[in-house]
């Protein structure tokens, strides 16, 4: 079954769903340290919170899957690829695929697809940081979706 989404005015939501959003906001802003504390504050059971928590989001916080494909030319020497992958992971990028060509004239082409939906920085900043890595000759975005 295909997931369907709706935009519903807050005052039209059932109480349990509205309170689930309130719990999530208290946790996100650090006002409550635990689900138990936040649920108690807004007057909802923890079981009701857990029932709805993965299905309700403020419109500005809808989960976004964003995938970017980056092509790089890396020097063919030991220890170049690992820091590149660590940089992406350190920025909360999730590498989905990686392909590497056979090195020619001292360089290998590496293409990675990265889920950037949870990244701490934007893609242009990631490209800038990749260019600063030792052994990275070039790094460009070849696809985004």
Residue with tokens 């299905």: 55
Confirm whether 4 is domain-assigned. no
Is residue 59 scored above 80 in pLDDT? no
Query: Could you report the per-residue pLDDT of 80-134, keeping only the tens digit for each?
Result: 999 999 999 999 999 999 999 999 999 999 999 999 988 878 888 999 999 999 9
Query: Could you report the per-residue pLDDT of 7-37, keeping only the tens digit for each?
Result: 788 888 999 999 999 999 999 899 999 999 9
Six-digit token pair at 33? 């340290």
**Strand order through the sheet with 94-100:** 94-100, 107-115, 67-75, 136-144
Number of domains in the chain: 2
CB 126 within 8 A of CB 91: yes
Report the pLDDT value the prediction gives residue 120, as an integer from 0 to 100: 78
Confirm whether 93 is domain-assigned. yes
Confirm whether 5 is domain-assigned. no
Which has more confidence, 144 or 59? 144
Confirm whether 1 is domain-assigned. no
Residues 111 and 134 in one domain: yes
Residues 86 and 50 in one domain: no
Residues 28 and 95 in one domain: no
Identify the domain containing residue 15 by its residue range: 10-61
Confirm whether 3 is domain-assigned. no
Distance CA 35, CA 27 (A): 7
Report the pLDDT value the prediction gives residue 61, as an integer from 0 to 100: 56
Residues 78 and 121 in one domain: yes
Residues 55 and 72 in one domain: no
pLDDT-derived band at 54 (thresholds 50, 70, 90) equals confident
């Amino acid at each position: 079954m295909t997931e369907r989404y709706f935009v519903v005015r807050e005052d039209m939501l059932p109480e349990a769903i509205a309170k689930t959003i309130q719990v999530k906001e208290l946790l996100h802003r650090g006002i409550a340290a635990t689900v138990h504390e936040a649920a108690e504050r807004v007057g909802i059971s923890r079981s009701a919170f857990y029932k709805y928590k993965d299905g309700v989001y403020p419109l500005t916080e809808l989960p976004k899957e964003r995938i970017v494909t980056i092509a790089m030319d890396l020097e063919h020497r030991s220890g170049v690829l690992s820091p590149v992958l660590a940089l992406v992971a350190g920025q909360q990028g999730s590498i989905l695929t990686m392909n590497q060509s056979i090195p020619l004239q001292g360089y290998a082409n590496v293409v990675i697809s990265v889920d950037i939906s949870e990244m701490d920085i934007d893609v242009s900043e990631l490209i800038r940081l990749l260019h600063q890595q030792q052994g990275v000759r070039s790094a460009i975005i070849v696809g985004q979706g």
